[in-house]
Amino acid sequence: MAFAGKLFTRASLGSYICRTRGLTANRVHRRHVVSCIDPSLGLTDEQKEFQKVAFDFAANEMAPHMAEWDEKEMFPVDTMRKAAQLGFGGIYVQPETGGSGLSRLDTSIIFEALSTGCVSTTAYISIHNMCAWMIDTFGSEEQRHRYCPQLCSMEKFASYCLTEPGSGSDAASLLTTAKRDGDHYVLNGSKAFISGAGDTDVYVVMCRTGEKGAKGISCLVVEKGTPGLGFGKKERKVGWNSQPTRAVIFEDCAVPVANRLGEEGQGFTIAMKGLNGGRINIASCSLGAAHASVLLARDHLKVRKQFGEPLSNSQFLQFKLAEMATRLVASRLMVRQAALALQEERQDAVTLCSMAKLFATDECFAICNQSLQMHGGYGYLKDYAVQQFVRDIRVHQILEGTNEVMRMIVSRNLLQE
């Protein structure tokens, strides 16, 4: 894990935090902790330290700018590079290529904490991490050392390119072609809804090099500036406005064969393995939004008075708050269990990741939406953060595999037994 030009191991990071966190981090951490929903419960001392650093960064570097980034649709490059200095640019990439070498559970803990400061920015960081991991895991030694150090430092940014205008949930039907021509592939086609597109530097692209279906798909790394690589207009979105979204267009785009990750026909497997972690990551971002929204609702109930007394005296609203807290903790436990299964490469990992993504993103959206309702008319004003949490996490039920597809994966697993 890197900071100020130094490479930290897991052990030395803990020592660094103890020397530098000061009172601010402790205050920030307490602000995000409320007894039964304390996100540090059950964590090791080391994990609590990672978490404190992430909460501190979220409170000081992200939350004060969250509304501005949303309103002005700013891609906060400088802030993300500061996050990378703490090791958040390649959290589960190996240290030998510039990463932090942390576990999937550690990663979930960090993304949950960062999302309390800005869901949209954290979600992009999570996608960037997924791309860096894919290159680190499936790339050659030359590819790993060529791309990963600059991705982990966020000197360069990455985008994941799977979805197409005509192939969303049915990803194996993608039509972007890559025809071999000597020592290059010539790409033609387009990708849709690509996070960071146009502003990022490295595109991890799934394309068809062979037969129809999943076995004909390969994975190529395409660098910005490659002739034939273009972008569509910047999309106007409900949320996720701190990251640009555009179509990625390939018109006779020649990419060296040396940029292929793995073997021909391995691309769909690579894409799905990336998404297993991506589902945990995006569920973790939902946890952060829900956690923040529970605290916002609690604080509002305490200060808002109607009929001569605080809203917190209403048993109906007390029960609603209790339900929100219960949903949050249940979601967190499910996400963390799935993260452990993925780290251990257990047989049930894919299904558990799907369950966690389905449950957490549905429940956390409901939590944020209920928090907005508790705020009444104030919750609908952009001066109040809760409405942005609602807008930013709504898409989590759609991307990284829709929640309908998550249900398909879980049901297939059950019916195969």
Give one DSSP letter per residue of 134-171, joined into a string.
HHHHHS-HHHHHHHHHHHHTTSS-EEEE--BTTBSS-G
223 tagged catalytic: no
> What is the average pLDDT value for the chain, to the nearest integer?
93
At 20 the pLDDT is: 36
Ramachandran category for residue 182: left, alpha or beta (phi over 0 → left; psi -120 to 50 → alpha): left
More confident residue, 29 or 126: 126
Q: Which of 112, 164, 363, 400 is catalytic?
A: 400
Residue 261 has pLDDT above 60, yes or no: yes
Dihedral sign from CA coordinates of 153, 154, 157, 160: positive
CA angle, residues 331, 334, 336, in degrees to nearest 5: 105
* CA atoms of 13 and 48, how far apart (whole Å): 12
Tens digits of residue pLDDT in 281-302: 999 999 999 999 999 999 999 9
Distances (CA, A) of 383 to 65, 68, 71, 150: 12, 11, 11, 37
* CA atoms of 51 and 121, how far apart (whole Å): 17
Tens digits of residue pLDDT in 330-384: 999 999 999 999 999 999 999 999 999 999 999 999 999 999 999 999 999 999 9
Residue 266 has pLDDT above 50, yes or no: yes
Residue 4 has pLDDT above 80, yes or no: no
Residue at token pair 């030009």:
5
At 35 the pLDDT is: 81
Q: What is the mean pLDDT of residues 196-200?
A: 98
Dihedral sign from CA coordinates of 191, 194, 199, 204: negative
Q: What is the mean pLDDT of residues 42-57?
A: 97
At 359 the pLDDT is: 98
Q: What is the mean pLDDT of residues 318-328?
A: 98
pLDDT bucket at 12, cuts 50 / 70 / 90: very low
Tens digits of residue pLDDT in 61-88: 999 999 999 999 999 999 999 999 999 9
The model's pTM: 0.92
At 18 the pLDDT is: 37
Residue 5 has pLDDT above 50, yes or no: no
pLDDT bucket at 14, cuts 50 / 70 / 90: very low
pLDDT bucket at 182, cuts 50 / 70 / 90: very high
Residue 32 has pLDDT above 80, yes or no: no
At 33 the pLDDT is: 44
At 3 the pLDDT is: 39
Residue 145 has pLDDT above 60, yes or no: yes
Residue 96 has pLDDT above 70, yes or no: yes
At 269 the pLDDT is: 97
Q: Which one, of 123, 149, 153, 125, lies nearest residue 136 by Cα?
A: 149
Q: Is 23 exposed, middle or buried (0-12, 13-18, 19+ CB in 10 A)?
A: exposed
The proportion of the chain whose per-residue pLDDT surpasses 70, expressed as a percent, equals 92
Residue at token pair 């179509």:
247
